[in-house]
Amino acid sequence: MCGICGIVNLKSSQSVNQSVLHKMTQAMKHRGPDEQGFYHCGPVGLGSRRLSIIDLAGGRQPIANEDESMWIVFNGEIYNYRELRVFLQKKGHAFRTQTDTEVILHLYEEFGLECVQHLNGIFAFAIWDIPRQELTLARDRMGIKPLYYTETTNGFIFGSELKVVMAHPEVKREIDLISLNEYLSFEYVPTPRTIIRHIHRLEPGYVLCYSTQGVQRQPYWNISLARSESRPPVDWRDYAIGLYETLKTSVKQELVSDVPVGVLLSGGLDSSSIAAFMAELYPGTVDSFSVGFEESSFDESRYARLVAQHVGTRHNELILTSQMVAEMVPTITNFLDEPFGDSSLIPTYFLSLFARGHVKVVLGGDGGDELFAGYPTLTAHRLIEYYERIVPWQVRASIAPKTLDLLPVSFNNISFDFKIRRFLAGRGVPLQVRHHRWLGSFLDEEKALLLQDWLKPVLRDTYSQAYHHARECDARLPLNQLLYNDMKMYLEGDILYKVDRASMAASLEVRVPFLNREVVHFATDLPLELKLRRLTTKYLLKKSMSQKLPREIINRPKKGFNMPVARWLTTELRDVVLEMLSEERINRQGFFNYTYVRELLDQHLSHRRDNRKVLWTLFIFQLWYDRYVAKGS
C-alpha cells in the first residue's frame, strides 16, 4: 500500500522540478511512512511513498522492467499476483523483486492496456512507457483506491490525493460551483468531478493514457446487473452454498501479506462474516478491533464483543469520548483534503488509528450493503409507495407536515423524529432523487435559501449524475438501478473514500473482501429477490451465514456507523462550529446566505430542530475551505 504521484511535461519538454515532485510526495507521507522513492528523467518524474507489506526488503518503488524502458508506481494490493508471476516467468520475464508491483509492470509488457483484465485486487497505478512516450493510469474496478489528475500548461499531473495534485504550483485552487452544489446535497462530490475546477478523479474501471496526443480515457469494465434479471425462478438454497464458498475464498485470497493482518469488527452482518471466515483461515489468533461510544444510543460495541467471543478473535475495543473528538475535529483537514460530510469518518479514523497500534493490515466489511441490498432506504422505497397509495392526498400535503412539527426533537441515534422527517422528504419526487434525498444532506428547497443568488444561474440539476447512472445501467428493475447507482456513487464517493482517507491517515491498509472481483461477479449475477425479499434486506447473505454467526447478529437491524454529532454540535464542538460559521467568514466567502445559516444554528442550539446533517456538512466545508483555499496550505 502506497501513495503515488507524477509530473509529465510533454507539452513543453521542460525538465521536472524535482523540489516540486518531492513536495508532492511529501504531502502523502502518511500513506507510506516506511520509505519514499523517485524516478526522474527530463520532462518526466514519478514519486512514491511506501507502506511496506509485501517483500519488505526489496519492494522499493518506482520499479523498472529488465531494460528500464518502463517504470511503475503502484498503490494497492494484487491478490492473484503469485499465479500471474508464474505465468509471466514461463513467458520469459525476469523478476528482481517478490512484489506484486513488478508483476503489474511485466503484465503490461505482455498485454498492454489489457493487463488490467487479469488483476484481482485493489489498485491505482501509473506506468511510464519510454519507447511509446506514454503515461498509463489505471484504477481498480470498484474504486477502492483513489487517483486524481489534471492537465496544465506544461503537461499532466497526477496523485493519490487531491492535496498532492494541489501541491503543484501550476494548479489553481478555484472552487467548482457545480461540485459545491453536489457536495451540499450528497455530502461528497461524485466522480469524476472534484471540488477544485479542472482536477478530476479517474473513474473506477477506467484506464487513462497521456501522450503528446493529449488525454484519452476508456473503461475496461463496468457493473452489469442484467444477468440477474434473466434467471429462471430459484430457491435461495441453490445459491447459499455458492455465496458462502465465494466469500470464504475471497477472504483467504486477501490474507496474503508479509505482516500480521487483523479485522475491523463492528458487530454488523458484513464485518462479522469477514471475521468468522478469517478466524477459520488465518494461521494464528486474529486480532479484531471495534470502537464504541459513551452515549448509549450510539454504542453497539456489545455486538462486536459477542461476535469476537463466538468466532474466537482476540478482541480490542476503543471507547470514543466527546473530548477525543473535540480535540481531533479542528485538525481533520490534515488528512481530509476534500469537503466530506459523512460524520462516520471520525470514528473510522479513530478505529484505524487504534488498529494501527497492533497491525499494518486489516480486513473490513465494506461493500456488502451495496452488493446485497443492505440499506434500509431500499425497504423505505417500498414503504413510501404504500404510503402514497393508501394515505389520502390531503393528509400527506397538510396534516402530516403539521403533525411532524409536533414531534419532540431527539438527538439520539437515528431517532424517531429524524427518521420520519427523512422519510417524508422522499415523497412526491422521482425514485433516483428520493434515494439521494434520504442518504444525503441539503434538499434543493433548502439550498434555494442557503446559496447566494449569483451562484444559481450556473448550477445544473443536482441529481443529473444519478440520472446518468440510471440510464447507463443495463438492468430494468428500479431497485436494481438503485443498487447500481449506489455502487457508482455512494459506495465509491462516500464509503470507500471515507475508509481510504481515515485508514491512510493512520498508515493502515484496509482490504475489502466483499469487493473482491469474484464476490462482485457472484453478487451482480444474483436475482434481486435473493437480496431484498419483501422487507428483508441481505436475504441470501443472512441465509448463507446463519450457521456461522449468532442469531442475534443475523437478525439485528442495520444502524450504520454513526456518531453523536447532534449533541456534540451543542456542547464540545459548539465554539469551533460558531467560529467557522460566523457572519464574517460566511460573508467573506460569498457562497452562502448568513441569515439562513444563523437560522439553522439557532434551531439546533435551542433543540427546536435536529439540523445535524446540514450543519455538519457546512461545518466541514468551512474547515476545508479555510485550510486549502483561504490559507492555501
| Alpha-carbon span 423 to 176, nearest angstrom | 31
Residue indicated by cell numbers 476508456: 218
Q: Read off the pLDDT band of 380 (50, 70, 90).
A: confident
Mean pLDDT computed over every residue of the chain: 91
Report helix, strand or coil for 168: coil
List the chain domain ranges: 2-219, 226-373+495-555
Residue 170 is classified by DSSP as: T
Torsion angle defined by CA atoms of residues 159, 160, 163 and 168, in that order, rounded to the nearest 10 degrees: -10
Q: Which residue type does 582 have?
A: S
Q: Which residues contact 554 (CB under 8 A, 6 or more apart)?
A: 269, 542, 545, 546
pLDDT in tens, 2-22: 899 999 999 998 999 999 999
Instruction: Map residue 74 onto helix, strand or coil.
Output: strand
Task: Work out the percent of the chain whose per-residue pLDDT is above 90.
Answer: 77
Q: pLDDT class for 426, splitting at 50, 70, 90?
A: low
pLDDT-derived band of residue 410, with 50, 70 and 90 as boundaries? low
SS3 7: strand
Q: Per-residue confidence at 509, pLDDT binned at 50, 70, 90?
A: very high
Which range (404-413, 441-450, 466-475, 543-552) has the least confidence? 404-413
**Residue pLDDT, tens place only, 473-501:** 999 998 999 999 999 999 999 999 999 99
Question: What's the full length of the chain, in residues?
Answer: 633
If pLDDT is split at 50, 70 and 90, which confidence band does 560 have?
low
Residue 330 has pLDDT above 80, yes or no: yes
CA-closest candidate to residue 574, choices 546, 607, 542: 607
Residues in Cβ contact with 209 at an 8 Å cutoff, skipping those fewer than 6 apart: 113, 134, 135, 136, 137, 215, 216, 217
Choose, from 2, 5, 115, 473, the residue flagged as catalytic: 2
Helix (H, G, I), strand (E, B) or coil at 49: strand
Q: Which DSSP string corresponds to 110-150?
A: HHGGGGGGG--EEEEEEEEETTTTEEEEEE-TT--S--EEE
Q: How high is the pLDDT of residue 71?
A: 98
Check pLDDT > 80 for residue 398: no
CATH fold, domain 2-219, is Glutamine Phosphoribosylpyrophosphate, subunit 1, domain 1 (3.60.20)
Torsion of CA 30, 36, 41, 42, to 10 degrees: 40
pLDDT at 585: 96
Sheet-wide strand order for 314-320: 314-320, 287-293, 261-264, 361-363, 509-511
Q: What stretches of 391-495 show up as alpha helix (H) in DSSP?
A: 393-394, 400-406, 416-424, 431-439, 444-450, 464-472, 478-485
| 2 has catalytic annotation | yes
Comparing 554 with 407, the larger pLDDT belongs to 554
240 pLDDT more than 70: yes
Pairwise CA distance, residues 617 & 620, whole Å = 6
Give the pLDDT score at 52: 79
Secondary structure (DSSP) of 27-46: TTGGG-BSEEEEEEETTEEE
Gap between the Cα atoms of 164 and 178, Å rounded: 22
Phi, psi of 263, rounded to the nearest 5 degrees: -140, 135
Return d(Cα 595, Cα 600) in angstroms, integer. 9
Q: With bands split at pLDDT 50, 70 and 90, how would you rate the model's confidence at 425?
A: low
pLDDT at 503 over 60: yes
Rounded Cα gap, residues 264 and 287, in angstroms: 9
Lowest mean pLDDT among 58-72, 281-295, 402-416: 402-416
User: How far from chain centre, in Å, is Cα 511?
Assistant: 12
Q: What is the pLDDT of residue 296?
A: 72
Please give the average per-residue pLDDT across 413-424, as a whole number.
56
User: Which cell goes with 130?
Assistant: 519510454
Long-range Cβ contact pairs of 460-469 (< 8 A, separation 24 or more): 460/178, 460/181, 462/181, 462/182, 462/185, 463/185, 463/432, 463/433, 463/436, 465/182, 465/190, 465/489, 466/432, 466/433, 466/435, 466/436, 467/432
Statement: residue 421 has pLDDT above 90: no
Query: What average pLDDT does the segment 183-199 reach?
Result: 97
3-class DSSP state for residue 151?
Answer: strand
* In contact, 311 and 276? CB cutoff 8 Å: yes
Per the CB < 8 A criterion, the answer to whether 497 and 146 are in contact is yes
- 226-373+495-555 under CATH 3.40.50.620, yes or no: yes
The whole-number average pLDDT for the span 391-404 is 53
How many angstroms separate the CA atoms of 333 and 627, rounded? 7
Which position has the higher pLDDT, 402 or 144?
144
CA distance 161 to 166: 9
The pLDDT assigned to 435 comes to 84
Average pLDDT of 379-396? 61
Cα distance between residue 440 and residue 616, in whole Å: 12
Cell numbers given for 537: 434486506
CB 316 within 8 A of CB 308: no
